[in-house]
């Protein structure tokens, strides 16, 4: 049963990262035409509109906030992360930006120790270290861009966001978690967006809506996944998104994958592949 929960958690994270990758494509297509704080506000409002019917359909007891403190912290992490994500995706290639975003699972190991008291196995630490080497290869430190700082900031907020899922009440539904994350972000997002507001085209509004929808898909999968298993057991599955963004970057933005990038992706992905269990064979001797 425990192994089934881990497998389900990994599968949910893979689907979630596919959704997050599609969100990144929508954000990159904005091409820097929307202010980060305006994007941050609009995405949260659209997310709230999408979630509201699901939240209202629940019994009153399931609509409660659960933990004001944790939900508020996660709401602010979403705001900070989404604004930095827009900056990073505007100025960096899709795969390069995401290589830094996927430093989040690496950061989740010390965070899960500090905040949750979860201690990973030596194998998980080694696998994560190998994944980090793959990230460095994809990133090319010699080609460092200032927007990489924003990408690292996104990775940090994402790691904290995911780890804090396990601090939420187990009884809180995914709809309520996403609803309150959106609601609690608006008191900060609204005045900031109002101050920096500028006209926005219908095309860009559609892209922001797509980004909000795909981001909700990611967040919902994350909540379900990290309730299935301990953080360090499934966190490596977060790296699967790098495969998707490399493919989407090639399809939508003509970003080619060279040999070093492919090697880096392999180093990121291979350590998280499940290992086949060794079967124990017993030899039976019939005595006649």
pLDDT at 183: 93
- Report the pLDDT value the prediction gives residue 281, as an integer from 0 to 100: 41
* pLDDT given for residue 65 in this prediction: 83
Domain ranges for the chain, please list them. Answer: 2-272
For residue 246, the model assigns a pLDDT of 83
Model pLDDT, residue 66:
78
The pLDDT value given to residue 142: 60
pLDDT in tens, the chain (288 residues): 456 777 788 888 889 889 989 999 999 999 989 999 999 999 999 999 999 999 999 998 888 887 888 889 999 998 998 889 899 998 888 888 887 777 776 777 777 777 777 777 777 778 778 877 887 787 666 666 778 888 888 888 888 887 888 788 877 888 888 899 899 999 999 999 999 899 999 999 999 999 999 988 887 887 788 777 766 677 667 777 778 888 898 888 888 777 877 787 778 767 655 555 544 444 443 433
Best CA proximity match to 266, nearest among 136, 131, 140: 131
pLDDT given at position 155: 86
- Cβ 21 vs Cβ 245: under 8 Å: yes
Question: Crossing angle of helices 68-91/147-163, nearest 10°?
Answer: 150
DSSP the chain: -HHHHHHHHHHHHHHHHHHHHHHHHHHHHTTT-S-HHHHHHHHHHHHHHHHHHHHHTS-GGGGS-S-HHHHHHHHHHHHHHHHHHHHHHHHS-HHHHHHHHTTHHHHHHHHHHHHH-----HHHHHHHHHHHHHHHHHH-GGG--THHHHHHHHHHHHHHHHHGGGGS-TT--HHHHHHHHHHHHHHHHHHHHHHT-----HHHHHHHHHHHHHHHHHHHHHHHHHHHS-HHHHGGGGGHHHHHHHHHHHHHH-----HHHHHHHHHHHGGGSPPPPPPP--------
Task: State the number of CA atoms in the 13 A half-sphere of 74 facing the CB.
Answer: 26
**Taking the model in full, what pTM does it have?**
0.75
The pLDDT value recorded for residue 287 is: 36
């Amino acid at each position: 049963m425990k192994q089934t929960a881990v497998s389900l958690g990994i599968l949910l994270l893979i689907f979630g990262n596919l959704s997050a990758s599609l969100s990144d494509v929508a954000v990159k297509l904005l091409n820097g035409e929307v202010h980060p704080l305006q994007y941050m506000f609009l995405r949260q409002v659209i997310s709230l509109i999408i979630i509201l019917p699901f939240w209202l359909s629940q019994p009153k007891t399931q609509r409660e906030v659960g933990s004001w403190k944790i939900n508020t912290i996660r709401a602010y992490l979403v705001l900070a992360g989404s604004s930095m994500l827009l900056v990073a995706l505007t100025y960096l290639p899709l795969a390069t930006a995401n290589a830094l975003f996927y430093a989040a699972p690496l950061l989740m190991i010390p965070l899960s120790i500090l905040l949750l008291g979860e201690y990973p196995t030596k194998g998980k630490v080694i696998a994560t270290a190998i994944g980090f080497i793959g990230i460095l290869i994809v990133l090319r430190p010699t080609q460092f861009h200032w927007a990489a700082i924003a990408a690292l900031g996104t990775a940090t907020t994402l790691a904290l966001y995911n780890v804090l899922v396990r601090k939420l009440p187990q009884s809180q539904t995914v709809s309520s978690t996403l609803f309150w994350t959106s609601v609690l972000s608006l008191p900060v997002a609204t005045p900031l967006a109002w101050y920096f507001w500028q006209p926005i085209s219908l095309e860009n509004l559609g892209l922001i809506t797509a980004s909000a929808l795909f981001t909700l898909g990611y967040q919902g999968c994350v909540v379900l996944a990290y309730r299935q298993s301990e953080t360090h057991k499934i966190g490596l599955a977060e790296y699967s998104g790098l495969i998707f963004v490399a493919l989407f970057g090639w399809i939508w933005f003509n970003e080619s994958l060279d040999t070093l990038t492919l090697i880096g992706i392999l180093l990121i992905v291979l350590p998280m592949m499940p290992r086949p269990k060794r079967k124990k064979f017993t030899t039976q001797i019939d005595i006649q």
